[in-house]
Structure 1
Amino acid sequence: MSRKRVVVTGVSALTPLGGNVSDSWDNLLAGKSGIGPITLFDAAGFDSRIAGEVKGFDPEAYGIPAKQARRMDRFVQFSVAAGNMLVKDSGLVIDESNAARVSVILGVGLGGLHTIEVFHSRLVEAGPNKVSPFMIPMLISNMAPGQVAIATGAKGANMVLTSACASGTHAVGMGFTEIVMGRCDACITGGVEATVTPMGISGFTSLKALSTSHNDEPEKASRPFDKDRDGFVMGEGAGFLMLESLEHAQARGATIYAEIVGTGASDDAFHMTAPRDDAEGMIASMRRAIEDAGVSPDVVDHINAHGTSTHLNDLCETNAIKQVFGQRAYDIAVASTKSQTGHLLGAAGGVEAVFSVLALHTGIVPGTINYTTPDPECDLNYMANGPQKLDPQYVLSNSFGFGGTNGSLLFKKFTA
């Protein structure tokens, strides 16, 4: 018996490239960088003083009352804003007739780091009685899907996945699986993160993970696959998809952006932060997504790479792609949109899934900026010349995280 087909009927995004999906996509294709000096706190004295911030974000402009916004960490504000935009874009009316069949499954990497910092300072300076009763519900990761459900009325499964930089990808994969299994008809899914904070920046800098050599030229700092890369750039934002069973989407006459046909996951079981040298887990993740779709690797035209701009990740992902696709790997358009957004941690997989869907919907594959000094070990087609109208039929989106956790999604151009 054939399984349910799952389609994408809505997309939304808040990224360093724009406060909505349209602006983010347009600026991505224009080759713009969303990375600049940190403005969310005073970064003087930090080794890394740049980030991909969501600029000028005002919760009230996204339908979140000021009083309510004050009781949400920034990542939760992003979630509600993206959720509201997503429901509008999808045209799905959520009411008592269908609310129990609409789920919310989101990926979050670190959660309310800003709130923890604020109230820890208050605790130290003024004592325990000055810690707000709203602190815990402001910062816990499941408030992302929880507040989205409150805002939209969705009453199906509500959960958060936390698997480092693969969180958003794993959430989309779970949303897809829930619909295939018949547990819901629609799912609000994706990833969200807001950790451009003193602790976030200093913690990743201490790990030697962040770029520190381009503070005066932030737009050049994120350099996936480039020989002169020296670390990733922290980003923030949200990327959400509305997934629906095909029959549900067609019954209401929904616009269909693309189809999601496979999901894969694996773990390296190797190291806290470093990938395996042989890229075994990355290879398994990609192969499982392709096998889940029941297709050959030969159908994949475009890969939205994890491509963090760190030496080991870029090298291992390149080698993994070669292992999965063989000689044909050199013909695939491989792009890292992190070159323009920075690394959004738990939100990365959600945002990159949105970009993958839009590549299928528009036929345009984005490029990789700052690939100016080729690395002999990273020798695939990274779209260094910018976006091209390639009309891809299948797009693979990769996310690989600390702890060796790996996730891949396979999307297909929709045909009835």
Structure 2
Amino acid sequence: MSERPEDRQDCDDRDVVVTGIGLVSCVGEGVEAHLAALAGGPAGVSRAGPWETGRFAPYPVRPAPALELSTQIPKKSDQRQMEPWQRLGVYAAGAALDSAGMKDDAELKARTHVIVAAGGGERDWDVDGQVLTAMRTHAAPDVLLNERLMSDVRPTLFLAQLSNLLAGNIAIVHGVTGASRTFMGEEQAGVDAIRIAHARIASGQTDVFLVGGSFNAERADSILAYALGRLAYAGPPAALADRTAPGFVLGSGGAFLVLEARAHARARGARILAEIAAVGSARTGRGEGALAETLGRLFDETGTGADARIVSGALGLPARDDAERAVLAARAPGATPIVTQDLVGHLMEAHAPAGVALAAGLIAAGEAREAAVTSIGHQRGAGLVRLRAA
């Protein structure tokens, strides 16, 4: 049994604690809505929130919820210039700041650092299709392509969708103007965003970070890319354990966390939701058994015990899921993992932040004393984040 935080002798001023959570997905907004869905058990989780089964058939997705954007992005001009994934991220970041009691503290936000896990932005799928269609019958397709690049697919249009503009829009909309970094690299970007923030706070380099990511699943180009790689699930809506075909279900959403040094959080009277005790991250090999070996090592490195509540980043890809199941059977026997994909879909860069948000919410609600969040990359990489009551 994990010990109570008040009984521990290892509390330290540089402990990294979670003081704010912003979570948006098909389930809705806020960690409370997500915990309520979890309370329904596996069947309730698989039905939580809507499924979109028509627009991208045969590939279902978990769509973004209807949000009152003006509550977190007041200016319509700001809303219009952002692509959907940026709106989801900026909204979730604002919700995390609200949760941490920081929204109106300009001085604190000015020294808050930001790490964003982000993809490469969104393309104008309709324009791409028009250009490719026209090139098929044009006498000089190269000339046509150059002409269309100068008009419809201008570099300036793409620059408005660059990955680091999520951090820029967070600065503009919310006034978070400390140093910012953007990590790219799908699932592993989310793990490393948390890892770097944790390490810098623990070492005393800074006191407070806003960390997270977002993903828009409702994009034909993304679904096509993963479908061509035989990674996207094609079938009727179902929980991961009940699917008859391999693949993940993409989900639209955003997840951000406010992380602080324990002493910093106490000094400003913030509510501490959970402590991030350790973050493990590794690039896995390609050979048989490589993922299981890596996950087992991360359990050792993070000091994760057998009684930790497991929040699983299982993907729906048999070889990788089998490796995770084998490790969990050995390291956390009897555990019934919460599968984040069943609840919110696969959020790619926001995959790990969403899992940590759920785990912190479980601990803050008294439903767990310790939790371990796994993040499994669909190609390479793995992560493990251990949280405990603070």
Fold conserved between structures, TM > 0.5: yes
Are residue 257 (structure 1) and residue 273 (structure 2) matched? yes
CA distance in 1, matches of 2:249, 2:364: 28
Q: Secondary structure at the match of 1:9?
A: strand
Q: Which one has the bigger helix percentage?
A: 2
CA distance in 2, matches of 1:404, 1:133: 31
Cα distance, 1:170 vs structure 2? 2.1
Match 1:399 to one of 352, 360, 375: 375
TM-score between the two structures when normalised by the length of structure 2: 0.84
- Closer, same or farther in 2 for the Cα pair 1:359/1:198, shift >3 Å? same
- 2:217 aligned residue: 195
Match 2:79 to one of 69, 72, 75: 69
Match 1:36 to one of 43, 51, 58: 51
- Closer, same or farther in 2 for the Cα pair 1:119/1:66, shift >3 Å? farther
Cα distance, 1:149 vs structure 2? 2.0
State how 1:3-402 maps to structure 2 within 5 Å.
4-30=14-40, 31=44, 32-38=47-53, 42-43=55-56, 46-48=57-59, 50-92=60-102, 97-108=107-118, 110-113=119-122, 115-118=123-126, 120-121=128-129, 127=148, 128-131=150-153, 134-214=156-236, 218=237, 220=238, 222-224=239-241, 226=242, 228=244, 230-270=246-286, 276=289, 279-290=292-303, 297-298=304-305, 300-323=307-330, 325=331, 329-364=332-367, 392-402=368-378
- Closer, same or farther in 2 for the Cα pair 1:28/1:333, shift >3 Å? closer
Question: CA contact under 8 A between 1:107 and 1:162: conserved in structure 2?
Answer: yes
Q: Which moved more, 1:63-72 or 1:127-136?
A: 127-136
Q: Secondary structure at the match of 1:200?
A: helix
Q: Secondary structure at the match of 1:298?
A: coil
Question: CA contact under 8 A between 1:229 and 1:311: conserved in structure 2?
Answer: no
* Structure 1: 4+ residue segments shifted above 6 A: none
TM-score between the two structures when normalised by the length of structure 1: 0.79
CA distance in 2, matches of 1:119, 1:64: 29
CA distance in 2, matches of 1:403, 1:212: 19
Cα distance, 1:116 vs structure 2? 4.6
CA distance in 2, matches of 1:320, 1:300: 14
Deviation readout 1:315-356 (Å, 9 max, x if unpaired):
110112245x2xxx2233422131122211111111111100
- 1:367 aligned residue: none
What is the one-letter code of the residue matched to 2:172? I
Q: Which has more radius of gyration? A: 2
Cα distance, 1:3 vs structure 2? 7.0
What is the one-letter code of the residue matched to 1:318? R
What is the one-letter code of the residue matched to 1:280? E
- 2:139 aligned residue: none
CA distance in 2, matches of 1:55, 1:287: 38
How much is the aligned-residue C-alpha RMSD, in angstroms? 2.6
Question: Structure 1 regions of 5+ residues with no counterpart?
Answer: 291-296, 365-391
What is the one-letter code of the residue matched to 2:386? L
CA distance in 1, matches of 2:179, 2:213: 16
Count of matched residue pairs: 361
